[in-house]
Every structure is written in C-alpha cells, then in structure tokens.
Amino acid sequence: MNAPLSTKLYEEASRIFPGGVNSPVRAWRNVGGTPRFIVRARGATIVDADGRSYCDFVGSWGAAIVGHAHPKVVAAVQAAAAAGLGYGAPTCAEIELGRAITQALPAVEMLRMVSSGTEAVMSAIRLARAFTRRPKVLKFAGCYHGHSDALLARAGSGAMTFGVPDSAGVPEAVTAQTLVAGYNAIDEVRGYFAAYGEEIAAVIVEPVAANMGVVPPQEGFLQALRELTLASGALLVFDEVITGFRVARGGAQARFGIAPDLTCLGKIIGGGLPVGAFGGRGDVMTLLAPLGPVYQAGTLAGNPVTMAAGRETLALLDDQAYVHLEDLGRRTEDGLDAALREAGVGGCVQRVGSMLTLFLGTERAHGLVDIERTDRERFARFFRAMLERGFYLPPSPFEALFLSLGHSEADVDDLVQAAHEALQEIA
Ligand code: PMP
C-alpha cells in the first residue's frame, strides 16, 4: 500500500488542482488513501510512479477496450500526429471513423463528433428539444450523462459517490425541466407521460446503467420506453458513452434490439483520446447548424489524432473480439460469485458483456434504491485489500470493472483468487 512518490505527487497536485485531480472520482475519497500517479500502461498492466505494477480493471473508465497502448493504435496516433495535429478543417480521418460508427449502429444515420461525452449528451438534448419543440427531459436516478446543468439531477458516478445528488451552482429553473424516474421503474415513467406527455422532449437512458455500478435493464424496460416515446412524440435517447462498442459492436441497441432516435457515444470511439459523438435519425440531425437552427460547434471536434485512434480501435473490435470479451466477462462473474459465497459475504455480481460490478451488502440492484444499501465501508476495505495484491479496481463502489482484449484468462483467474482472499479478510 505504501507509495511514497505517489503520495508526494498528490500533495503537490493538491496545491494546483482542487482535490488534487481533474475529475473527482480519481481522488479516492471513497476508498481512503491517496491515488496512484500512473506513469505508463500497456495491455492490462499499469505502472505507478513508485514503479509498482497493477493489473488494471478500470481501463481508462472503459475506453481502453483493446488494452492500453495497443501497438496498432499507437502507430496510428503517431502517423496522424506526424502529419499534423489538427487544422480546424474537414479531414478524411473524420469520414473513416464516422463511417465505421454508422455501419455498426444502423440507427445512427448521421452523427457529429465532439470532444467529450458531456458535450455529446448536452447537444443531443438541445437537438431533441428543438425537434419536438418541447421543454422537458426525463432521466433515471443513478444514470450519469455528464455534468451539463440540466442533467445533474440524481446523477450517478462522481455525483453519487460524494452523496451530492444535485450540484451547487445549477439554477432550479434549469433542473425544473428535468423529470427523474427510477431505473427499471416503468410505471413511474408511465405516470410522467400521463401527467406531462405533451411536454416531454426526450427520455434519456443508459441502456445498461453503469454509473451506479452495472444495472442491466429488466426484460421489457427498454421496449416500454420505445413504445411510450413513440406514442407521445418524444425522442428516445440512448446514452451509450459506456455501452457503445462495449456490450456489442452495435452497443446496447444491438444487444437488446431497440432502435433509439438519438445515440450518444464517447470513450471507446476515441481509442483513449478525448472524444464524444451524437447521432441518429437524419430528419433530426439535419436540424443542426449549418443546415438548421440548432447551434453546436467545437474547435477541436473531430481532430485527426483522435479520429485515427478511434478508427484503429474499432478495426480491432471484430466478432472474435466480442466473443473473447464475453467469455472473459462470464469467467469473472462466475469466479467472483463463487468467491462471495465461499467467503460468506453478502453481495452480488451484476454483469453485461465485459463490464461488471461486485456489490457488497445487497443481493440485487435493480435501481438506485437498492444501490443505496451497499456497504461503502466494506467496499473500501475490499478495494485496499485488492490494491495490496496488485489489482487496480475502480475506487468507488458505484462504478463498473472493465475487461479488455489486454486481459487474459490467467489475469481473470488471478483477480478471482485475490478477491477470494480479500473477501475472506474483510468478512
Ligand atoms: N454519459 C455516460 C453514460 C458516461 O458514463 C459519461 C462519463 N463516464 C458521460 C456521459 C460523460 O462523458 P465525459 O466524461 O467524456 O464528459
């Protein structure tokens, strides 16, 4: 556990950055101790400033699906960088990545590149409001859609980690147009449509929730959202920033067979570099400037280095890759399930494809109400016990573990063995 150089660096970082970090969950407030400063990573291994190696199950929060610094991705980035870092003008690289995305997600007829998931969702919501000429947005408790004002209501991820469901600095008038229902609670959604149907521009959902830990949609949930939005004239927006190219090549919309009107992407499509994208129905997307009245722009959007990293990453994700990721996911789930049982620790493992969460202190998690019962203190001890054994897990009980093509079956078996010991230690 002792990491003297990381601790020293954290002290210095804390003088420069609030909380020592540039994104809150990185500060390890949920698990105690100080964060490791990472100096390099390759495949499934990350190395900190003290020279310690860890088997990484954060994977840059899901972006690193082909493993860290895959040689082909790095070569593509180097070639793109050598040609020029960006021009603020159209490039062929944008077309190549855009084509790969529209081919994988048929519901995305047209798209626009942006620089983060937050921007993608913010822009998709603006577009939905313009298209429907309605003001309200319905979201789900525990789903995180980035940190734009309107969506910081009952958000997951860092907002939840710190027990601040709404951020200070967001005017009530902004979130007043945001309705919040329970995840998987379709009757609540029906109630909102009955009360405000004519005012709802969009329903936005993580089609597999991953920002309160992994919570799969229950049978019929996404289908019911599709039917209700169609009946009312609202748009269905899938936030696939995590699930896109993760739970299937075509994302959750392919895995569950539901076509949304708009889709938000990020993470994987940037191959590890900053990115976001939103897209969907052509009749909606053509409302965007310069064709239509909805303004949206970005100086570095679609920059050629990111586009090259994304294109190369998506090229590595063939059918065989998804079979392998699914196998690794199942092996991890089965192993952790058995470890929980053998240690006699109450909890459960929830998984979709290559992302999963080990919840301690609750036997099921269908929505935020269940999640709030998890044992945070016990999770913190589990996290530290795993770190000591060389496993780098998300430093929060409300996040997903991500597997990648950089992981081997042996990595998974080692994780399970370590979890076995760690769970016994904290039992
Ligand atoms: N939507 C979802 C589902 C996310 O998980 C995230 C980030 N984890 C975002 C949006 C925001 O993306 P970014 O952090 O790139 O702004």
97: CATH? 3.40.640.10
Instruction: Please give the model's pTM, rounded to 2 decimal places.
Output: 0.97
Q: Which CB contacts under 8 angstroms, 24+ apart, belong to 373-379?
A: 374/213, 374/398, 376/30, 378/345, 378/426, 379/30, 379/31
Query: Are residues 199 and 78 both part of a single domain?
Result: yes
Q: Which of 144, 183, 322, 392 is catalytic?
A: 144
- 278, 298, 316 — which closes off a domain? 316
- Distance, CA of 21 to CA of 12 (rounded, Å): 11
Same domain, 127 and 260: yes
pLDDT digits (tens, 9 = 90+) for 128-186: 999 999 999 999 999 999 999 888 877 666 665 444 446 888 888 888 899 999 999 99
Residue 309 to residue 74: CA distance in whole angstroms = 7
* 420 has a pLDDT exceeding 90: yes
The CATH number of whichever domain residue 400 belongs to comes to 3.90.1150.10
pLDDT at residue 164 in the model = 41
Centroid of ligand 1 to alpha carbon of 339 (angstroms): 31
- Tell which of 258, 293, 316 closes a domain: 316
Letter string b/e over residues 157-169, b meaning 16 or more CB atoms within 10 A of that residue's CB: bbbbbeeebeeee
Q: Which ligand 1 atom is the nearest neighbour of the CA of 243?
A: 3
Ligand 1 midpoint to CA 117 (Å)? 5
Is 239 a catalytic site residue? yes
Domain count, the chain: 2
Q: CB–CB of 413/385 below 8 Å? A: no
Stretch 240-246: mean pLDDT, rounded? 98
Whether 22 and 86 share a structural domain: no
pLDDT band at 381 (very low <50, low <70, confident <90, very high): very high
pLDDT, residue 173, reads 83
Q: Are residues 120 and 106 in the same domain?
A: yes
Query: Residue 141's domain spans which residues?
Result: 71-316
Q: Return the percentage of the chain with pLDDT > 90, whole number.
A: 92
The answer to whether the Cα torsion of 16, 384, 206, 308 is positive or negative is positive
Quick one: 58 and 99 in the same domain?
no
Q: Determine whether 72 is an active site residue.
A: no
Active site residue 144: yes
pLDDT over 70 (residue 425): yes
pLDDT score recorded for residue 168: 87
d(CA 25, CA 127): 30
Q: DSSP letters along 319-370, please?
A: HHHHHHHHHHHHHHHHHHHHHHHHHT--EEEEEETTEEEEEES-S--SSHHH
Nearest-atom index, ligand 1, CA of 121: 10
User: How far, in Å, CA of 182 to CA of 236, rounded?
Assistant: 16
Catalytic residue among 48, 136, 267, 322: 267
* Mean pLDDT, all residues of the chain: 95
Q: How far is CA 291 from CA 92, 127, 261, 262, 282, in A?
A: 21, 13, 19, 18, 12
210 CA → ligand 1 middle, Å: 10
Q: Are residues 90 and 228 in the same domain?
A: yes
Average pLDDT, integer, range 36-59 = 98
- Average pLDDT for 343-364: 96
Q: Which residue has the higher pLDDT, 173 or 56?
A: 56
Q: Which of 48, 139, 183, 239 is catalytic?
A: 239
CA 189 – CA 386 distance, rounded (Å): 39
Q: Are 347 and 358 in contact (CB under 8 A)?
A: yes
List Cα–Cα distances, 219 to 7, 56, 179, 257, 424, in angstroms: 46, 32, 23, 12, 34
**Distance from residue 400's CA to the centre of ligand 1 (Å):** 13
Say if residue 42 is in the same domain as residue 91.
Answer: no
In angstroms, rounded to a whole number, what is the distance separating the alpha carbons of residues 214 and 218? 12
Tell which atom from ligand 1 comes closest to the C-alpha of 206. 3
Residues 264 and 217 in one domain: yes
Phi, psi of 219 (to 5 degrees): -45, 125
Least confident of 140-149, 222-231, 330-339: 140-149
Q: What is the pLDDT of residue 162?
A: 47
Judge if 143 and 59 occupy the same domain. Answer: no
Range 270-287 average pLDDT: 98
Structure tokens at 96: 């190549």
Q: Does 1 score more than 70 pLDDT? A: no
Pocket of ligand 1 from Cβ distances under 6 Å? 61, 116-118, 121, 144-146, 157, 206, 211, 239, 241-242, 266, 276
Using DSSP, state whether 40 is helix, strand or coil. Answer: strand
Closest residue (by CA) to atom 14 of ligand 1?
Answer: 117
Asked whether residue 242 falls in the same domain as residue 350, the answer is no
Residue holding tokens 């979890």?
419
Do 203 and 307 sit in the same domain of this protein? Answer: yes
**Ligand 1: which of 22, 241, 253 to mutate, judged by most atoms within 8 Å of the beta carbon?**
241
- Mean pLDDT, to the nearest integer, of 57-83? 98
With the most atoms of ligand 1 within 8 angstroms of its CB, the residue from 144, 245, 399 to mutate is: 144
Tell me: the pLDDT tens digits for 284-332? Answer: 999 999 999 999 999 999 999 999 999 999 999 999 999 999 999 999 9
Distance 330 CA to ligand 1 centre (A): 25
63 Cα to the center of ligand 1, angstroms:
11
Q: Are residues 199 and 116 in the same domain?
A: yes
The candidate with the shortest Cα–Cα distance to 403, out of 71, 157, 59, is: 59
